[in-house]
Structures are given as C-alpha cells and as structure tokens.
Amino acid sequence: MEKNKNLIISNPPNGVAGIKAIVVSMQQIAKRMSFFKAFKILQKLNQKNGTDCPGCAWPDPSHRSRLGEFCENGIKAIAEEAMDKKADPKFFSNNSIEELKKQSDYWLGQQGRLTHPMLLSSNNTHYTPISWNKAYKLIGDSLNALNSPNEATFYTSGRTSNEAAFLYQLFVRMFGTNNLPDCSNMCHESSGAALYNTVGIGKGSVTLNDLYKAELILIFGQNPATNHPRMLVALEKAKKKGAKIVSINPLKEAGLVNFKNPQTAKGLVGNGTKISDLYLQLKINEDVALLKAVMYKLFKKSASDSTILDSDFIKNNTIKFEAFKNEILSNNFDELVERTGLDITEINELIDLIVPRKKIIACWGMGLTQHVNGIDNIQEVVNLLLMKGSIGKEGAGTCPVRGHSNVQGDRTMGIAERPSKQLLEKISENFGFSPPTQNGLSVVESIEAMHKEKVKVFIAMGGNFLSAAPDTNYTTEALSKCDLTVHISTKLNRSHLAHGKMGLILPSMGRTDKLVKNGKEQFVTVENSMGVVHSSKGKLTPPSLQVESEPIIVANIAKATLKKSKVDWDFLTNDYGNIRDLIDKTIAGFENYNERVKNPVGFDLPNGARTGNFTTPTKKAKFTINKLSENNQKKDEFIMMTIRSHDQFNTTVYGLDDRYRGIYNGRMVVFMNPNDINNHNLEKGSIVSLYNNYNNKKREVSGFSVVPYNIPKGCLATYFPEANPLVPLELTAHISHTPSSKSVKVKIRK
C-alpha cells in the first residue's frame, strides 16, 4: 500500500519550549483572531483578578510572571475558544449532517464558534435555528414525558464553572436522578477512589510550595510539556532548590528530559534545565511491578538501617502495615524486575534515590489511571509514600495532576453519579426536597443504558461525549437510539453529529467571554488541581447576542422542566453572588464564599491529607494490598496506549503536528519499537490496520502509518480520539469504571 506522502516523521527533539514555543503560539493566534483581541485576553490570562485559562488545571504561582503567566498550549486554548470565525445558521444550512460527518475533528473545530440554538428535528438532514424558548420547552417536555427521571442522563465536562455545576446538579437532583456522569469518569476517577480509600480525600495533598521543598519528585505516566506546560516551570524551580526528579514512563517524553523556560530570558537563549535525573522506560502497565520491586528492596534494606522507613509515622498514623509488608515480601523480586522490562541497575538507582530521602512527592497523570488496575497503581504509589512518611508534611505527598481547568471543582460542587451522604443531606436540608439516594450512571454505564434504550434523553454540559468515550461505533449507536440529545457547547464537534431522533445544540459562553447581567460584570469561580478556589472573569465580547452563559441555560432548563420548585432560578442568575451564597450553605469548605473569593489569589479548601489529619473512618491512612496487572499478552499481541499529541486539547485538534515527538502533518500514526517493526516485516511509514476481538466483538481501525520510536517492545502508542474505536467499552478499571484506554490489546496487519 502507498505511504502517506503528507506525513513527516523526524527525530524527536532533546528538549522542549524555548523560543519555538512563542513562535508557534503566535502562529496559532494569527490563524484565528486579531492580535488586538489576543492582547486583550492574554494580558489578563491567569493574572490575579484575571481570566483563568480554560486549558488545564495546573495552579498559578503566587508570583505571576510579567512576561505572561501562560504557556503555548494555553494560548492555543484561547485562540481556539475565542476565534473570530463563526459556525452560524448559514453554515448549518450549507452543510448537511451527512456532509459534516465526512470531515475531520480538526476541520469541525475550525468552523468557528456556535452562535445560535440549533435543532435537528426528526428525519431532517440539517440543523435549523430554533428560539431559546422553544428549545427549553422541548427539553422540559421531553424530560417530563419520561417514565422515570432515571431515563435521562446529564453529562458534564470539566470546563464548567462552579456556579454552573452547582445549579446543574441541583436541577438534576430536583428532577429526580443521580445520573450525573462526567469526564472524570474517563480521567482521574481512579485517583479519586484510590486516594479516598487510603488517605480519606479524593484529591491530591500537595501545594506548589511543597513541590519547591521536595527532595525527590516521582513523575508517573504524565506528559507535562504538552498537557501541563507550566508544571515544567515548577519542576525547574524545584530542581534549583535541590530536588531530584525521576520520570517513570514507557515513552521518553522530551519535556521530561530538558526544558527551556520561555518565561525567562535565560530560558530563551540558554541550554535549558535537565529535568529528569533518572528516566525509567518501563513496559506499559507495569508500574505496580516496579513499585513492588522497589518496596521489596526497601524492606530488605531497612532490616539493617532503621532510618529508611518512617516507623513513627507508620505506627502513629497508619493501619494495615503488617499485612502490606507480608504481601510485598511474598513476591519474587527477580520476577518483578523482569516484568518491568527495566534493567536491575536502573531500579537500583531509583532505590538509592529513595533510601536517604523523606520528602517525596509522587505526581501522576493518565498513565496510571486509565488501566483495569488503575486503582492498584495509585494505591501502590500511596503505599510507598506512607512507608517513607512522605505525606501530611511540607515537601511531600500526592499530586494527581488534573485535566480540565475546573474538573476538580465540578466534583466538589456535587457533579457525581455516586454522591456522598453528606451532600444529599445538605441538599435536603437547604432546598426542602428529598434528593434521590440511588446511585446514578457513570459515562460507561450511561452508554450501556442508552444502547439498551433505558436512557432516552442525553444532555451534555460541554465536552464531546462521543469522541471522548471508548468504543466509538458502539457509542454512536447508543446516542442515536435516544429520543433527544442536547449539547451545550462552544464549538462544533463530532457528538453533535451522533444525535438522537431529535438533536439540539445550545451555544454557550466560554471562559474568555464577558458576561454583564443587570449592568454588573459577573465572574465565575473555579478550583485548580491543588484545591485552590479563585475567580475568573471573561474579557471578550461573546460571538453573538444569542450565546448564553451556562448558569442561565441551566436555570432556564430547570424552569421549563420542574413544575414546582422552591428555588428562584431568576434570582440566582441575576447575580452569580446569589449562587455562591447557596454553595456557601451547601458545600463543606465554602463558608463565607463571596467574601473569601475576593482575595485575588483565592483560598485553599480543607485537605486533611495535607496536614496529616486523615479523614478516613479510623482517622489513619491505610496501607493496601494491590494486584499486579494481568500479564497475559499473547505472542503477536501488543499493548497499546492512546495519548495526546502536542496540538490537541482532548478531542479538540488545534493542528496536525506533534512537535515534541517529531511528527508533522498527520495524526493517523502508530508509534512502534524498531525491533517489532522488523519482526512484523514493516518499515517506517508502512500503512497498517490495528484490530482486536475483545469479548468476541471485532474492532478495527485502518490507515495508520508506522513510526519507529523509542518505546518498549510489545508496546504501541496511538492518538486519542482516532484510536478510540479500539477501546472496549467493557474494559474498565475496577471500582472507578474508567475505560482502560492506556492498555488496549491489539494486533497489527498490513
């Protein structure tokens, strides 16, 4: 078969950022908006009292760079959200659904901001304009026609503000269901569940200040140069203060090798900072084996050196230590090492770094959470920290690096399909109704229920459910079986094309849009990855007068649906401070919300694990026993991870390059070890199909170009969402139900 002539495969660089990052950012802006508009928003981006970057959830330092407190990918997020082009009613009349389906995700995104509410009525070929009032009535009537509130499901993506999220969950519970799946289900759910079980809070424990004080930082399964670029600034600072950094990742990610800080003059012209002191390229999903091997050796060494483990901490602050220790020592060390694919000397180097240090931070991303044993991965990381007494004190602790800019806040506001008893009690107390107590549906469960026609109305507050979810073909079928699908969105995406019998697109404001209500400029609030809550105010004129804010859309859906409601929805949306007053009364940690959020740097939410006051039932942290991954890869099978390129934000594709991996002008690629390429009689650029047969269902994608890459043998990497048709819906993590999109077994053929 012919090769893809447009695709350029080159050697990945030895480091990231520098002047090139600034050049690329400027090009992205030039393509999408005027420099005047860009300047207006960028000078306020992530500044105190400014606009929170809609991109990732990395926190802002207390001192903000005057050169600009943002990164290349933040600029791309802004340029994409605030682009001048518009997908208006004329665009929809010129393009049928069938025509739009043929276009790429990149093309769909480049058509511009949505400007008007649009309806796809039964059997129509095009979306056509509908008034807001008619749209709200259609939603209210459709919800009220259901046999039970559980026949509707209400998705949330992590850019939604605290105010919108709080109103949304309140409305959904007043309507009568806990069907509140959200993007966390596909993301850090495993972190939340594992941390809650072991240290009593489903969030990370560290602050930026802790990172600067750490002696050792372990980075598992994360690619910060692309996904949290400003984390590299913090890592550089930590290094300057003496921290050692270890990266544990099957891929050699350039940003974890060397970083030239574009926020400093030195970073622009100098050699940059070496980030990782040690880089362990283990096989996909063998983190538990590595951790067990390390802890095995720590126990052996501690027999003759009592300073290695923190015995006082273990004795006073933890439970189940003996059982854990026995399990670790029951392993065969050599077998563990063998599984990792690493050399024993590399593992010994890691052990040598851990032995003398007590202030250890573990950071992680999707490389740990998106596996069947996602919870085991994270609990095993916690075990290591507990052994060393590395939690609940300065410079030490857990650092799950969250995805969307407010994904953590949405959960705090009650977007949860399995809500806590406390939350339901507070809602009942404050709003005079009994919220449903039965657990609701997660993302995967919602897809199954839609497919079985048990859920008939699907409503999404942001996101791109279809492209983000696993098993694309099955999920398309599931959505198309609904009576009504509703998307509250800023931009056109593939989910709008996988509509139910009727489909609605409701155009929403984004983080950069300015909102004035009754002559008063409104702001919203968000929570970053380290539990700091702060305000965010948009600066730009919204793309059309028809575009509405998320809280107002929720309030109007509630008014059109709920026959009697004790909540005065108009009062709440007349001034967002009124919503915050309700949050203040309902959600723990938000006392005096409106006052405290006036602080330009925001305020910290309570975090027991941070101070060593574990909020578990026993008030102690818990050691756990965790399973190794199921290691039954057949001879011709590969384990495939699905990851992000440098030019995308989840399903939003900014461009076709992945500069830090040497790929230009194409996304349909499969990264492969050169030995595997030879053994399969393939070569650089060969076009292949990837397929599997999980649960006797045939799944296949084709047209992928082979890229020789520094990746362990037997492992592959592809981009999400292109490879999502291969991710089996049923293959999910224990307890958290997170799709296992980092360990998909596949076979390859020409």
Ligand X SMILES: Nc1nc2c(c(=O)[nH]1)N[C@H]1C(S)=C(S)[C@@H](COP(=O)(O)OP(=O)(O)OC[C@H]3O[C@@H](n4cnc5c(=O)[nH]c(N)nc54)[C@H](O)[C@@H]3O)O[C@H]1N2
Mapped onto helix, strand or coil, the DSSP state of residue 322 is: helix
The verdict on 250 binding ligand X (CB under 6 A) reads yes
Q: Which does 70 bind (CB under 5 to 8 A by kind): Mo ion, ligand X, none?
A: none
Residue among 508, 528, 529, 705 that touches ligand X (CB under 6 A): 508
Mapped onto helix, strand or coil, the DSSP state of residue 247 is: strand
- By C-beta, is 186 or 707 nearer to Mo ion? 186
How many helices, marked H, and strands, marked E, lie in the chain?
31, 33
Q: Near ligand X by CB under 6 A, which window of 216-224, 233-241, 314-322, 343-351?
A: 216-224
Mapped onto helix, strand or coil, the DSSP state of residue 732 is: strand
- By C-beta, is 12 or 158 nearer to Mo ion? 158
Separation between Cα atoms, residue 137 and residue 457, nearest integer Å: 14
**Ramachandran assignment for 361, one of left (phi > 0), alpha (psi -120 to 50 degrees), beta (any other):** beta
- By C-beta, is 187 or 290 nearer to Mo ion? 187
- Where b means 16+ CB within 10 Å and e means fewer, 716-742 reads bbbbbbbbbbbbbbebbbeebbbbbbb
Count of residues of this chain found to bind ligand X when the rule CB under 6 A is applied: 59
Residue nearest to Mo ion (CB): 403
Residue among 198, 226, 281, 340 that touches ligand X (CB under 6 A): 226
Q: Near Mo ion by CB under 5 A, which window of 183-191, 370-378, 503-511, 607-615?
A: 183-191
Pull the structure tokens for residue 271: 């050699």
The verdict on 186 binding ligand X (CB under 6 A) reads yes
Distances (CA, A) of 146 to 139, 153, 455, 557, 579: 11, 12, 9, 16, 29
Least CB distance to ligand X at residue 548 (A): 10
- By C-beta, is 341 or 365 nearer to ligand X? 365
The verdict on 227 binding ligand X (CB under 6 A) reads yes
The verdict on 159 binding ligand X (CB under 6 A) reads yes
Site residues for ligand X, 129-158, by CB under 6 A, read 157-158
- By C-beta, is 119 or 407 nearer to ligand X? 407
Q: Which does 246 bind (CB under 5 to 8 A by kind): ligand X, Mo ion, none?
A: none
Residue among 187, 216, 381, 707 that touches Mo ion (CB under 5 A): 187
Q: Which does 732 bind (CB under 5 to 8 A by kind): ligand X, Mo ion, none?
A: none
Residue among 398, 741, 746, 748 that touches ligand X (CB under 6 A): 741
DSSP letter for each residue of 140-208: HHHHHTSSSGGGEEEEE-TTS-HHHHHHHHHHHHHHT-----BGGGGTTHHHHHHHHHHHS-SS----H
Site residues for ligand X, 261-300, by CB under 6 A, read 284-285, 287
The verdict on 254 binding Mo ion (CB under 5 A) reads no
Q: Which does 80 bind (CB under 5 to 8 A by kind): Mo ion, ligand X, none?
A: none
Q: Please name the residues in contact with 184: beta carbons below 8 A apart, sequence gap of 6 or more.
A: 158, 192, 407, 410, 411
x/- track of binding to ligand X for residues 694-733 (CB under 6 A) = --------------------------x---x--x------
- By C-beta, is 550 or 676 nearer to ligand X? 550
Q: Near ligand X by CB under 6 A, which window of 91-99, 166-174, 215-223, 663-671?
A: 215-223
Q: Near Mo ion by CB under 5 A, which window of 180-188, 457-465, 534-542, 653-661?
A: 180-188
The verdict on 491 binding ligand X (CB under 6 A) reads yes
Tokens 């008007």, residue?
116
Least CB distance to ligand X at residue 649 (A): 4
Q: Are 467 and 492 in contact (CB under 8 A)?
A: no
The verdict on 512 binding ligand X (CB under 6 A) reads no
The verdict on 649 binding ligand X (CB under 6 A) reads yes
Q: H or E element: which one contains 314?
A: helix 311-317
The verdict on 465 binding ligand X (CB under 6 A) reads yes
- Phi and psi at residue 697, in whole multiples of 5°? -110, 130
The verdict on 488 binding ligand X (CB under 6 A) reads yes
The verdict on 222 binding ligand X (CB under 6 A) reads yes
x/- track of binding to ligand X for residues 19-58 (CB under 6 A) = ------------------------------------xx--
Residue 372 identity (one-letter amino acid): V
Residue 8 identity (one-letter amino acid): I
Q: Are 541 and 612 in contact (CB under 8 A)?
A: no
Q: Are 747 and 721 in contact (CB under 8 A)?
A: no
- Phi and psi at residue 527, in whole multiples of 5°? -120, 130
Pull the structure tokens for residue 422: 């406390």
Least CB distance to Mo ion at residue 204 (A): 14
Q: Are 651 and 721 in contact (CB under 8 A)?
A: yes
Q: Which does 165 bind (CB under 5 to 8 A by kind): Mo ion, ligand X, none?
A: none
Residue among 403, 414, 419, 435 that touches Mo ion (CB under 5 A): 403
Least CB distance to ligand X at residue 367 (A): 2
Residue among 28, 207, 573, 650 that touches ligand X (CB under 6 A): 650
CA neighbor of 154 nearest in space, from 419, 485, 453, 495? 485
x/- track of binding to ligand X for residues 654-693 (CB under 6 A) = ----------------------------------------
Q: Please name the residues in contact with 145: beta carbons below 8 A apart, sequence gap of 6 or more.
A: none
> In this structure, what DSSP letter does residue 59 have?
P
The HSE-up count of residue 355 (CA atoms within 13 Å, CB side) is 17
Q: Near ligand X by CB under 6 A, which window of 87-95, 200-208, 455-463, 578-586?
A: 455-463
Tokens 């799946």, residue?
181
- Phi and psi at residue 120, in whole multiples of 5°? -110, 105
Termini Cα distance of the chain: 8
The verdict on 223 binding ligand X (CB under 6 A) reads yes
Q: H or E element: which one contains 235?
A: helix 229-240
The verdict on 651 binding ligand X (CB under 6 A) reads yes
- By C-beta, is 171 or 220 nearer to ligand X? 220
Separation between Cα atoms, residue 409 and residue 404, nearest integer Å: 10
Interaction site with Mo ion (CB under 5 A)? 187, 403
Interaction site with ligand X (CB under 6 A)? 55-56, 73, 157-159, 183, 186-187, 220-223, 226-228, 248-251, 253, 284-285, 287, 365-367, 370, 403-404, 461-465, 468, 488-491, 493, 508, 510-511, 550, 641-644, 648-652, 720, 724, 727, 741-742
